[in-house]
Amino acid sequence: MYQLLHNLSTGALLRQQLPVFSTSFLIAEFFYKFHSFALECAAFLLTWYVLDAVLQWVLPNNQRED
């Protein structure tokens, strides 16, 4: 997380991670009801990772960079 925030510029961070983060957050909020903060947090992070990986596969890095 530290490297993510410090290695990307603010513009790149907003363009690349904000849409994926927001989508993952909404999925977790509406669909994950495990009655455990730890499980819901882990599921949210896994969802964020998977969605970002899919987006990286669909849109290679050279199209998403500054």
The pLDDT assigned to 23 comes to 96
Query: What does pTM read for this prediction?
Result: 0.79
Higher pLDDT, 21 or 62: 21
Q: What share of the chain is helix, strand, coil (3-state, %, to 5)?
A: 80, 0, 20
pLDDT tier, 61 (very low <50, low <70, confident <90, very high otherwise): low
| Structural domain total, the chain | 1
**pLDDT (tens digit, 9 = 90+) per residue, 26-53?**
999 999 999 999 999 999 999 999 999 9
Chain-centre distance of CA 24, in angstroms?
Answer: 6
Residue 7 domain boundaries: 2-64
d(CA 22, CA 18) in angstroms, rounded, equals 6
